[in-house]
Amino acid sequence: MLKRIKRVSRRLQSSHGRIGFILVFFVACFIGAPAWGQSVYEAKLSAAAKKEGALIWYTAMAIDTAKPLVDAFEKKYPFVKVNYIRVGTAQMINRVITETLAGKWDFDVVTVLGMDALVKRNIFAPYMSPEREAFLDDFKDPKGLWTGVYHNNIVVAYNTKLVSARDAPKDYPDLLDPKWKGKILMDQRDYTWYGTLVKVWGREKAGRYMKQLAQQEPQFRSGHALIAQLVVAGEMPLGWVYDFRIETMKKEGAPIEWVDTLNPIVVEVGGIGLGAKAKNPNAAKLFIDFVLSKEGQQVVRGAQRTPSRKDVEPLVAKMDQSRLKLKSVPDEVENNLKQYANEYREIFRIK
């Protein structure tokens, strides 16, 4: 390659003088750029990560999303092994808190819904990934303690055999119509949904609305996935669910649709953060950058989850971030979840 540059240099210098020298300098810089289109930053980070050789990822993501991300990362960076431990969100949060209180910091990276529940315990170190620019402010911590990987939009779904699009509710007040009394399914643990509406509407308005909704005698079940299945089965015409799950069910021919005009649509964000005492910080940063990159976010989309990066197409056009009135769960709600849980259960008389 050096001989090639010299030959080009001689030809250009003989015919164009100074212009030739400038062109040679440009060619040399271009040829000398990091491999695979890497930036200088990524090349240095990759080299440091290679020395560490591995990382530990604690995640609450479903296995059908977590594994494809790990596989794609290890294919791109075969010199870094990702060891991941996967349990549900509540179990993972409890595990991280319990281990760190005991002085055990085995994880390098953590991914759960409700990252702020861990932020207040100083679990994360700030990391301003260069990929963060492509995320809405609502989907990232301002101090760089976490950035969203995927998000779940909590919406109202309806059985299309029982409810027409014209008759379906369009916003929160419509659910108070007497015709929906006893016909709405709700999750018995939608505490963050309730708390977010309290913060957005104010305590007085939210309290008044929730009491009116309780008078509609909603039926409670455990889990949005179960509620979606019950709406499809026709047990109830309406139910509070995650929109990505509805889109998946629609592809399978299920008679179900969701309302995209709620204001606001409460969003639960699954974020990723760097452990405050990571033993493999460079490998962890490289992994975080990949998960947040367009390439990584397309893997998330391929697993039928909703990627949080705004320049990655959603599962369907209806889920485009720019057209929905989204509001992520505030950190104040996560930090005082027990209080909101007690209020929710009292209003709806959940034992």
Contact 77, 102 (CB under 8 A): no
Give the per-residue pLDDT at 142.
96
| pLDDT tens, residue order, the chain (351 aa) | 444 444 434 543 444 444 443 333 333 343 334 544 578 999 999 999 999 999 999 999 999 999 999 999 999 999 999 999 999 998 999 999 999 999 999 999 999 999 999 998 999 999 999 999 999 999 999 999 999 999 999 999 999 999 999 999 999 999 999 999 999 999 999 999 999 999 999 999 999 999 999 999 999 999 999 999 999 999 999 999 999 999 999 999 999 999 999 999 999 999 999 999 999 999 999 999 999 999 999 999 999 999 999 999 999 999 999 999 999 999 899 989 999 999 999 999 998
- Exposure class string for 108-127: b at 16+ Cβ within 10 A, else e: bbbbbbbbbbbbeeebbbeb
| Rounded Cα gap, residues 93 and 101, in angstroms | 12
Using CA atoms in the order 81, 83, 88, 89, what is the torsion angle rounded to 10 degrees? -70
| CATH architecture, domain 152-267+331-347 | 3-Layer(aba) Sandwich (3.40)
- In one-letter notation, the amino acid at residue 30 is F
Name the DSSP class of 293: S
Contact 241, 227 (CB under 8 A): yes
Helices (H), 187-293: 191-201, 203-214, 224-233, 243-251, 281-292
Cβ-Cβ contacts under 8 Å for 294 (sequence gap 6 or more): 134, 309, 311, 312
Q: Please name every residue paired with 140 in a beta bridge, in sequence order, or none if there are none.
A: 147
Output the furthest CA–CA distance in the chain (Å, rounded).
89
E strand spans, the chain: 54-59, 81-86, 109-113, 124-125, 147-159, 184-187, 219-221, 238-242, 256-258, 265-275, 326-328
| Per-domain residue ranges of the chain | 40-149+269-317, 152-267+331-347
Domains 40-149+269-317 and 152-267+331-347 alike in fold: yes
CATH topology assigned to domain 40-149+269-317? D-Maltodextrin-Binding Protein; domain 2 (3.40.190)
Contact 82, 284 (CB under 8 A): no
- Written as six digits, the tokens of 74 are 């290890």
Give the per-residue pLDDT at 37.
59
